[in-house]
Amino acid sequence: MGSIVSTVALSAATADSTSPKVCPFEACGKDSVPLVGGKCASLGELINAGVRVPPGFALTTSGYAQFMREAGIQADIGALLEGLDHQDMDKLEEASRAIREMIESRPMPIELEDLIAEAYRKLSVRCYLPAAPVAVRSSATAEDLPGASFAGQQDTYLWIRGVDDLIHHVRRCISSLYTGRAIAYRMKMGFPHEQVAISVGVQMMANAYTAGVMFTIHPGTGDRSVIVIDSNFGFGESVVSGEVTPDNFVVNKVTLDIIERTISTKELCHTVDLKTQKSVALPVPAERQNIQSITDDEISELAWAAKKIEKHYGRPMDIEWAIDKNLPADGNIFILQARPETIWSNRQKASATTGSTSAMDYIVSSLITGKRLG
C-alpha cells in the first residue's frame, strides 16, 4: 500500500505550474502516469511501441489542477466528503451529485480552453475531418496500480464533436472523479481524495463496425496459453458495459488457431446516429443477431497484436480494440487502450490442471490427430 500511496502523492506533486497543461499521446509513455494518468500513458507507450492507436491528446493533471484551483471549490468538496461512511451509498451518492454539479457548472479557464481548442483543431486536421469525432475518456493517476484498480470508475463519452461539446465533456470527465463508487473505493483503500488527480484523454473516434475487448490470459481460468476475444457490432461500449453477451473466441497464443468459438445472440449495439451525430444504442436487425461479428482473419490479426502488446509490457494484458469501417482492411484495426490484467496476475499460479491446456499440449494433440496447425 505504501508504494501506491507514494505514487498518488507523486501525482499531486507533478501537477504544478511548470508542467504542460495539454500533451499529445506521442509525448507520453509508461513514466507519464503522474502527468496523464494510466490510460493516456498506456496509449503513448503503445504508439511509441509501433502499435496502431487512434491519435489524440490529454488534458494533464496540471491542467486539471489549474481548473480546480481557479474554480475555487476544493474546500466545499472537502466539507461535503467529511465524515462520510464508505458503506453508506445513499449519502455518498447525495454528496457525489452535489460535487459533480459544482464542478460541471464552473467555466473552463480561458488558457485551458484555448489549449484544448488548438489541440482539437490539430487533431481534426490530422484526421482530415472538420470537428473530428472523438472519444473523451477519464485517465486517473491511480488507475491499475498494483494492489488496487481504479479503472472503470470514471466516465467515457463517445462520438463528441465540436469544441464547445468537447469542453463540456472534459468537465464531465473531471467531475466523474467524484462518482459515488469512486469516492467509496478511495475511502475503503485509504486514498486521500485531494491527492488523486485526473487527466482527460481526447482520442480520435474509430467509426467501428465491430469492437470489443481481449485478454492475453483466460479471464475465467487464468490460462496464459490463450488469448480470449469478445466482440459485438458497433462501438465497444456494449461489450465493456455488459449490455450484451458478445461473441467469444479463444485463440491459441502460439499457433493463433481458434480453439473455441461461441456466437451469441447480439440484440443491441452502440453506433453513431448520422442525423444527430451522437452515439446511440440501437437494436441489431434480427437477421444479423446470430452472425459472427468479426472474421477469422480479423481474429488472427487481433491475436497477433495482443501478443505484441503482452511482449512489450511483459505481463498479461486487458485490451480494448475496434475495427473502423471507413478504412481499408489492411489498416483498419485499432487498439483503443491496454492495461495490465489485475485479477489473475495478482494471484499465485494456479496448480496444474489435467488435460491439454498448455500451448505445447495443444500442438502435440493437434499433430497426433492430424489437425493442420496453420
Phi-psi region of 291 (alpha: psi -120 to 50; beta: other; left: phi over 0): beta
Same domain, 133 and 84: yes
Q: Which three cell numbers stand for residue 159?
A: 462520438
Q: What's the whole-number mean pLDDT along residues 46-74?
A: 96
The whole-angstrom separation of Cα 117 and Cα 112 is 8
CATH at 7: 3.30.1490.20
pLDDT at 20 over 50: yes
Same domain, 154 and 8: yes
Answer yes or no: is 343 within a domain.
Answer: yes
How many distinct structural domains can be found in the chain? 2
pLDDT digits (tens, 9 = 90+) for 104-142: 999 999 999 999 999 999 999 999 999 999 999 999 886
pLDDT digits (tens, 9 = 90+) for 253-277: 999 999 999 999 999 999 999 889 8
Question: What pLDDT score does 6 carry?
Answer: 33
User: Residue 34 in contact with residue 21, Cβ under 8 Å?
Assistant: no
Distance of CA 343 to the CA centre of its chain: 17
pLDDT digits (tens, 9 = 90+) for 177-218: 999 998 998 898 888 888 788 999 999 999 999 999 999 999
pLDDT at 11 over 50: no
CATH at 232: 3.30.470.20
User: Residue 35 in contact with residue 23, Cβ under 8 Å?
Assistant: yes
Question: What pLDDT score does 248 carry?
Answer: 98
Answer yes or no: is 146 within a domain.
Answer: yes
Q: pLDDT band for 155, please (50, 70, 90 cuts).
A: confident
Same domain, 30 and 134: yes
Domain span at residue 324 reads 208-369
Same domain, 200 and 238: no
pTM recorded for the entire structure: 0.84
Q: Counting beta carbons within 10 angstroms of the beta carbon of residue 277, is it exposed (0 to 12), middle (13 to 18) or buried (19 or more)?
A: middle
Last residue of a domain, one of 204, 226, 257: 204
Answer yes or no: is 56 within a domain.
Answer: yes
Q: What's the whole-number mean pLDDT along residues 18-43?
A: 94
The whole-angstrom separation of Cα 88 and Cα 82 is 13
pLDDT at 12 over 50: no
Same domain, 181 and 324: no
Same domain, 162 and 123: yes
Answer yes or no: is 113 within a domain.
Answer: yes
Same domain, 292 and 365: yes
The one-letter amino acid at 346: N
SS3 content of the chain, % helix, strand, coil (to 5): 45, 20, 35
Largest Cα separation within the chain, whole Å, is 71
User: Residue 40 in contact with residue 28, Cβ under 8 Å?
Assistant: yes
Give me the residues paired with residue 233 across strands: 210
Q: What's the whole-number mean pLDDT along residues 352-371?
A: 48
pLDDT digits (tens, 9 = 90+) for 235-247: 999 999 999 999 9
Answer yes or no: is 374 within a domain.
Answer: no
Answer yes or no: is 281 within a domain.
Answer: yes
Same domain, 270 and 174: no
Answer yes or no: is 23 within a domain.
Answer: yes
Q: What's the whole-number mean pLDDT along residues 9-30?
A: 75
Phi-psi region of 43 (alpha: psi -120 to 50; beta: other; left: phi over 0): alpha
Helix (H, G, I), strand (E, B) or coil at 76: helix
Torsion, Cα 21 27 32 38, to 10 degrees, reads 90
Q: What's the whole-number mean pLDDT along residues 53-70?
A: 97
